Amino acid sequence: MVEQHVEQWGVFEAAVSGPDTGNPFVDVTLTAVFRLGHRSCAVEGFYDGDGRYLVRFMPDRCGEWSYEISGLDLPDDERTGSFTCVPPAPGNHGPVRVSGPAFRHEDGTRYTPFGTTCYVWSYQPEDVRQRTLRTLAGSPFNKIRMCVFPKNYAFNEREPERTPFPRDGAGFDLTRFDPVFFRDLEAQVLALRDLGVECDLILFHPYDRGRWGFDRMPEEVDHAYLRYVIARLGCFRNIWWSLANEYDFMREKCADEWDRLFHTVEQHDPYQHLRSIHNGTRMYDPDSLRLYDHHKPWVSHVSLQHWDLHLTRGWRATWGKPVVVDECGYEGDLHQRWGNLTAQAVVERVWTGTLLGGYVGHGETYRNASGEIWWSHGGDLVGGSPARIAFLRTVLDRLPPGAAPLEAFYDAPTTGVEGQAYLQYFGQHSPGVRQLDLPAGVDFHVDVIDTWEMTTQRLDGTVSGAVSLELPGRPYVAVLLTAATPPA
pLDDT digits (tens, 9 = 90+) for 351-396: 999 999 999 999 999 998 888 999 999 999 999 999 999 999 999 9
Considering the domain delimited by 412-483, tell me its CATH architecture.
Sandwich (2.60)
Identify which of 141, 359, 171, 317 has the alpha carbon closest to the alpha carbon of residue 238.
Answer: 141
| pLDDT score recorded for residue 286 | 46
Q: What is the mean pLDDT of residues 42-71?
A: 98
Chain-wide mean pLDDT for the chain?
95
pLDDT digits (tens, 9 = 90+) for 106-152: 999 999 999 999 999 999 999 999 999 999 999 999 999 999 999 99
CATH 1.10.3470.10 fits 96-396, yes or no: no
Class of domain 5-86: mainly beta
Going by pLDDT thresholds of 50, 70 and 90, the confidence category of residue 470 is very high
Where in the chain do CATH 3.20.20.80 domains reside? 96-396
pLDDT digits (tens, 9 = 90+) for 68-119: 999 999 999 999 999 999 999 999 999 999 999 999 999 999 999 999 999 9
Going by pLDDT thresholds of 50, 70 and 90, the confidence category of residue 282 is low
Sequence-separated contacts (24+) of 173-178 with Cβ below 8 Å: 174/217, 174/218, 174/221, 175/23, 175/25, 175/26, 176/23, 176/25, 177/25, 177/47, 177/225, 177/228
Where in the chain do CATH 2.60.40.10 domains reside? 5-86
Q: What is the mean pLDDT of residues 257-261?
A: 97
Rounded CA-CA distance 316/123 in Å is 35
| pLDDT score recorded for residue 391 | 98
Rounded CA-CA distance 136/161 in Å is 25
Q: What is the mean pLDDT of residues 299-311?
A: 95
Going by pLDDT thresholds of 50, 70 and 90, the confidence category of residue 227 is very high
pLDDT digits (tens, 9 = 90+) for 163-214: 999 999 889 999 999 999 999 999 999 999 999 999 999 999 999 988 999 9
Residue 485 has pLDDT above 90, yes or no: no
In which order are the strands placed within the sheet that holds 52-57? 12-17, 52-57, 46-47
Q: Using a cut of 0.85, tell me whether the model's pTM lies above it.
A: yes
| pLDDT score recorded for residue 291 | 81
| pLDDT score recorded for residue 370 | 86
Looking at the chain, the whole-number percentage of residues with pLDDT higher than 70 is 97
Going by pLDDT thresholds of 50, 70 and 90, the confidence category of residue 34 is very high
Residue 290 has pLDDT above 70, yes or no: no
| pLDDT score recorded for residue 288 | 47
Residue 289 has pLDDT above 50, yes or no: no
Rounded CA-CA distance 174/252 in Å is 18
Q: What is the CA radius of gyration of the chain?
A: 24
Where in the chain do CATH 2.60.40.3950 domains reside? 412-483
Q: What's the start-to-end Cα distance of the chain, in Å?
A: 54
